Amino acid sequence: MAVAKARKAANKANGKPKPAPSLPKTKENEAQIAVHWKEEEYFHPSPKFIGQANLNDPAMVERFSETNFPECFRAYAELLHWDQYWHTTLDASNPPFWKWFVGGKLNACYNCVDRHLAQYKNKAALIFVPEPEGEAATVITYQELYRRVNEVAAMLRDFAGLKTGDRVTIHMPMIPELPITMLACARLGVVHSVVFGGFSGEACGLRAADSGSRVLIYADGYHRNGKWVDHKASADIAVETAKKEGQSVDKVLIWKRYPGHFRSESPMIMGRDFFVDEVLKDYRNHVVAPVSQDAEAPLFLMYTSGTTGKPKGCQHRTGGYLAYVAGTSKYYQDMHPTDVYWCMADIGWITGHSYIVYGPLALAATSVLYEGVPQFPDAGRPWRIAERLDVNIFHTSPTAIRMLRKAGGDEPNKYNYHFKHMTTVGEPIEPEVWRWYYDVVGKKEAVIVDTWWQTETGGFLCTTKPALDPMKPGSAGPPALGIYPIIWDEEGKEVRAGSGAAGNICIRNPWPGIMQTIWGSPERFVNQYYKKYNKDPQSKDWRDWPYYAADGAVLAADGFYRILGRVDDVINVAGHRLGTKEVESACLSLPEVAEAAVVPAVDDIKGRVPVVYVSLKPGIAPTKQMQDKVTSAIETMIGKIARPKTIHIVPDMPKTRSGKIMRRVLAAISNQMDTGDITTLANPDIVEQIRIQVQGRSRGPVKEGPEDIKMFGDER
Ligand code: PRX
């Protein structure tokens, strides 16, 4: 019955695309840039998909309408096991520090592991696929996961001395011991802070110090792109860095990628470093009772880049977060316990936390973990994995899709796998790339959800409901259930649907997945996300506290949001956030560098890449060695992911009369775009000099350029 209704509704929604609205002339200024793109055709979910979908009843949409806010989110919380039911769904009395499911008690690990044992103990929870193709995949059932998580929890508590509320920093690659360690922390109520394995030891040390971690958890090494990465060495740097920041680390626990074989050149430090496989022998079959946590107890920190130099620790709560990722995994990722779900992201990013670990495991799904890079040893690898494991839900980023398309556009055709559902996340996807994903990877059988969200938001904010909405290439789609967005211009005037103008996308209401605060910096939390469009700082009404996402967006007449990219000093490289200030401060750590500015440049595969401009102190020569020194400083302080595309050593930076570097002008030059009015600069002549140096010519034809680069700048 519900299915027939859903199909009817979907067919209704799936009407032919409306012709593109005629775009009114909009005054081009920085806040509201007219965006002209071709209106794309809709694609429709198949009746087969709709028939089996978790969200195919339009009544659910009604249930989440604004009139039912905030109680609508009970539907998500009810997917979990609560030790004690909550009395207040949303306590908004201290904006913007929302409290969700107040009075409720639960344990995240219990919800992801223990409660599935009765029905699914012998079912695969995690399937680990090593990068070397000759190494067999490892299947970890829910029963085995339960055993291993308990043993690690016992070790963390009794050997490492960790207690509820303590923070622990985990710097590990994509091996099953990573989610096992996270779940063991959750079992104890220990707040985990996972640092992406590709970040440097320094980056890890800074984050460990900020979170006050006394214990670091590492792995000796891992396979990446056919090479063995010795990871343990970065633990020593992390400990040193944390120490310089005033944080002492007592214990470093080291997992071995191959138990029994230590594969690192780096020595073990007596009394500080311990091999987990050896310590665990004392905890064989130990069982630790899950600690019943307040819904508002922090579950984890996830550091992300912001507008200032220091990465901020986004603090996520236990109840609201878990409810939100369980709900969105169920209804948007369409996960059932019988599905084999593979998200190719890294657990070290929020996508991996929400949609490899917590969401899928909360639903008793099977989640695949792949150690390596997608195109190793060739571009057919992901499709071989999909075929072998019979993956039917696939989740990745536009960068990976572009890469696989370039490296082997026909490869998917050679393999006999069938996806019912695919996700894209992390950056805007070009309609042409979307269509390849749909036609070739999805074999025209799979629905696609383009999910827009952020580290801060815990889970999806805009995406199509896979069985109920049509898909439109390049658009994230309508808001997720219970999310009410709005686009405002810089002056706070609403940018209307179908106007063709861009503005700042905000979410008018709180939702359970939103972070609680920035770890140790509540003022920064308020200033960064709520100050911009706050109507009254004294107000106790949530309606006066919209969430500012720092993304540019356009709303089409059909209610679909198209996300244009960051409007702050953050560059989205291959779907990962890089703060320009972080990269700049790495450059400035060199005594020879006088000034540094980092801007985004368009890249065919990675979306955006950082381009670095530095000026040197008097008497220092602009040599190739100097450029290499800058690159190496960036890699050491942040990691290889921040490696710039180019480093330009310039005689001076374009500056305003007050001395501010005009990054917008440098971004325009790096992307062959119009630099706009530069007459008000203190040194307008330098612009032409830099242009000749970078482009090899004086003023030539300019490109239109994407909106985020136009919007990139330091004035806002
Ligand atoms: O600019 C948006 C972009 O990625 C940013 C968030 O990055 P991060 O916190 O690392 O989280 C990535 C995974 C959620 C956003 O501010 N972004 C994310 N998803 C999309 C996107 N841009 C366009 N379309 C998306 N689907």
Check whether 711 has a pLDDT greater than 80: no
pLDDT digits (tens, 9 = 90+) for 450-503: 999 999 999 999 999 999 999 999 999 999 999 999 999 999 999 999 998 999
- In this prediction the pTM is 0.92
**How many angstroms separate the CA atoms of 261 and 256, rounded?**
7
Ligand 1 mutation target, pool 347, 430, 454, 514, most atoms within 8 A of CB:
454
Ligand 1 atom closest to Cα of 708? 1
Ligand 1 atom closest to Cα of 428? 23
Residue 34 confidence class, pLDDT cut points 50, 70, 90? low
Cα of 436 vs centre of ligand 1, distance in Å, is 21
DSSP 475: -
Closest CA to 667 of 612, 607, 596: 612
Check whether 40 has a pLDDT greater than 50: yes
**How many angstroms separate the CA atoms of 100 and 74, rounded?**
10
Ligand 1 atom closest to Cα of 476? 26
**How many angstroms separate the CA atoms of 498 and 557, rounded?**
4
Q: Write the DSSP string, 309-328.
A: SS-EEEEEESHHHHHHHHHH
Closest CA to 672 of 615, 601, 619: 601
Cα of 529 vs centre of ligand 1, distance in Å, is 15
Q: Give residue ranges with CB within 6 A of ligand 1.
A: 304, 350-351, 425-428, 450-455, 476, 551, 563, 565-566, 572, 576-577
DSSP 386: H
- Alpha-carbon distance values, 522 to 399, 527, 533, 536 (Å): 34, 9, 17, 18
Tell me which range, 269-283, 655-669, 670-684, is most confidently predicted by mean pLDDT.
269-283
Locate the DSSP E strands across 495-606: 503-507, 517-518, 547-555, 561-566, 570-573, 576-579, 593-603
Ligand 1 atom closest to Cα of 450? 26
For residue 309, the model assigns a pLDDT of 63
Cα of 661 vs centre of ligand 1, distance in Å, is 27
Cα of 263 vs centre of ligand 1, distance in Å, is 36
pLDDT digits (tens, 9 = 90+) for 372-384: 999 999 999 999 9
Ligand 1 mutation target, pool 199, 423, 563, most atoms within 8 A of CB:
563
Ramachandran angles phi, psi of 194, nearest 5°: -90, 130
Burial class of residue 418 (count of CB atoms within 10 Å of its CB; 0-12, 13-18, 19+) = middle
Compute the half-sphere exposure of residue 216: CA atoms within 13 Å on the CB side of its CA. 33
Cα of 351 vs centre of ligand 1, distance in Å, is 10
**How many angstroms separate the CA atoms of 87 and 67, rounded?**
20
555 token code pair: 């709303």
Burial class of residue 136 (count of CB atoms within 10 Å of its CB; 0-12, 13-18, 19+) = exposed
Check whether 342 has a pLDDT greater than 80: yes
For residue 310, the model assigns a pLDDT of 80
**How many angstroms separate the CA atoms of 173 and 254, rounded?**
12
Cα of 525 vs centre of ligand 1, distance in Å, is 19
Instruction: Give mean pLDDT, residues 676-680.
Output: 84
Long-range CB contact pairs, 689-695, < 8 A, 24+: 689/650, 689/651, 690/613, 690/648, 690/650, 690/654, 690/666, 693/648, 693/650, 694/648, 694/669, 694/670, 695/669
For residue 714, the model assigns a pLDDT of 47
For residue 18, the model assigns a pLDDT of 37
How, if at all, do strands 646-649 and 607-616 pair? parallel
For residue 32, the model assigns a pLDDT of 53
422 token code pair: 């695919």
